[in-house]
Structure 1
């Protein structure tokens, strides 16, 4: 058999690779067969190679306050992706993503991919910080649900544990930890751009993201909230939204910087289709009914209404997106795709 010669151009190589991948998915290039690797014995995990680690990623577990009613210690898990190469002159933009145990690997890989392209397609990089929780060794869970519920839900008078006994109302404590402990630690390690900070959250994380926007506006300049749980606490966050709108309408109170807000929901979610296997939640449904009444009183009956109201404020641009075919959980992926764009492209004024 003649030796395989290299193609005459990169375009030719790309077309040949695509053709062979479609025609013979299990083989290499047509005519360039390689000896088949021996099949590892069943149960021989070591034969499948080494654990895979993403370039530029590290993590650290930092002490967190004990949950109310649960005195055992717990830890915030902070995952950090740092691009290769020197930082920009103004410092690295930073994208903070909540539910980091789940969403950080998606977002960090997307950001890494954009910076690892060829020179003609490569985009500026950003540091990605995943905000998660340390899980017990060997745990098969994605989240520490009790910690997530407490850290991402809002304080208000009379807040009580939810129907599953999980404490609620720790969002301000978590924001204090981010501002007073996490951000200074990051700034000491890498040159950061203080006016290029993005916060990303989904569901309860989206609720937390909006709470940060309305109450700690100077901490971030871009906010990505996918399927935010506006229903939580009978719509408490809508009261915060109303106060925020009143403060900043017609420039009555100046915002610390120009803001970009990205709100989104899934098409299946809007149609009211429950995810397969998800049981009804009477507590949530009762809270949602009360939240809807409160929302209508303020003219914020939907997430789209909230986006439109924010977009009318001076120095705020708000964007609303419906992701076709996505249910509540499915909007996580879209939030990561969106955040990989808006957290990087700070010089693209046309968005």
Structure 2
């Protein structure tokens, strides 16, 4: 079952839509269609057919208007997927896990979090609201991402940034983060009992790049940051400059973090081996950016993700954990990021470890 998209204006109509959508008692998985009545009425002896949707309680989605991409006039929409746990929220509100690349990663994180709350009382753990941040795709699309929208929304602004080698606009990260902070978070907060002090952001690859950019430039937006295989090479390593500025601001202790922070940086052992898939077309633009990023990293003593994690641990009030996932390629770390987010994003209070 799917809900009708929210209209662009006024804001009150969006709030009304979200309130009514999340209040529906029978909740099903994103994209599921109603059961075909002809199948339901077919004789018992008929050959079974794989037509039944697979439901997951607590899930709804809405499409909200997004700015057009630079150089285009085509309308586009952010797709927001929301999982709400069963039962009553904790006294301080539900923790929230925001999942980038939501079209692909949200169903995994939501299912893992749902499984925690669906166990017997003796094994049931804490739970959380899960918010998938994705993009609306054409009905007949077989893509898992809107690649052009993802490239723009997840890459950093800096002087001179232009389209990539495939003509995709870049540099819209701050526009995207403004939308989350100024529109989406207040809208969700007005409709659901959420904790503003228990929020997690998780991203992979370009999403991991955006996660670090958020940590370094908008530190107060979240309290836990899960970044898997972040694209540190992008823009010649410009995010490393942001890291240095962040650490200068807070590592001395002269400026205090807005809250205690937990950061999780991870890589796959296979991607660290630097072995290239022979079937993959070389990307000179990316390779040049990676060389520039490596030089920039070395100038700051940040030779890899592990050294970045170690440096972040010098910031008072911030704990950074670095993981290497055995046997995982760049793409394979995405699943580990989902599992990690589903674990660390459900903590009951800032002083309590995840259960």
TM range (shorter): 0.7 to 0.9
Q: Which residue of 2 aligns with 1:205?
A: 207
| 8 Å CA contact 2:346, 2:354 repeated in 1 | no
- Give the equivalent residue in structure 2 for 1:264: 266
> With structure 2 as the length reference, what TM-score do the two structures score?
0.85
Q: Which runs of 4+ in 1 moved over 3 A?
A: 37-41, 346-351
Which residue is 1:119 aligned to? 121
Q: Is contact 1:198-1:224 (8 Å) kept?
A: yes
CA distance in 1 between partners of 2:330 and 2:292 (Å): 20
Which residue of 1 is the match for residue 73 of structure 2? Answer: 71
Secondary structure at the residue paired with 2:310? helix
Q: 1:217 aligns with which of 202, 213, 219?
A: 219
Q: Distance in 2 between matches of 1:193 and 1:272?
A: 41
- In the alignment, what sits opposite 2:152? 150
For residues 313 and 284 of structure 1, the distance between their equivalents in structure 2, rounded to whole angstroms, comes to 31
- 1:45-64 equivalences under 5 Å are 47-64=49-66
Q: Return closer, same or farther for 1:88/1:346 CA change in 2, 3 Å cut-off.
A: closer
- 1:185 corresponds in structure 2 to 187
Q: How many residues align?
A: 310
Q: Is the 8 A contact 1:207 1:237 kept in 2?
A: yes
Shift of 1:137: 1.2
Indicate how the Cα distance of structure 1 residues 137 and 276 shifts in structure 2: closer, same or farther if over 3 A, else same. Answer: farther
Determine the structure 1 residue equivalent to 2:33. Answer: none
Question: What CA distance in whole angstroms lies between the structure 1 residues aligned with 2:348 and 2:224?
Answer: 10
- 2 CA distance for matches of 1:273 and 1:115? 40
Is the Cα contact below 8 Å between 1:204 and 1:228 reproduced in 2?
yes
Structure 1, residues 102-129: CA drift from partner, whole Å, max 9, x if none? 0000000000001100111101110000
- Which residue does the alignment assign to 1:290? 292
C-alpha RMSD of the superposition: 1.5
Q: 2: distance between equivalents of 1:254 and 1:346? A: 23
> Quick check: which has more Rg, 1 or 2?
1
Gaps of 5+ in 2: 1-43
Corresponding residue number in structure 2 for 1:301: 303
Match of 1:234 in 2: 236
CA distance in 2, matches of 1:38, 1:280: 55
The aligned residue for residue 137 of structure 2 is 135
Looking at structure 1, the residues matched to 281 and 101 of structure 2 have their Cα atoms a distance apart, in angstroms, of 22
TM-score (norm. length: structure 1)? 0.86
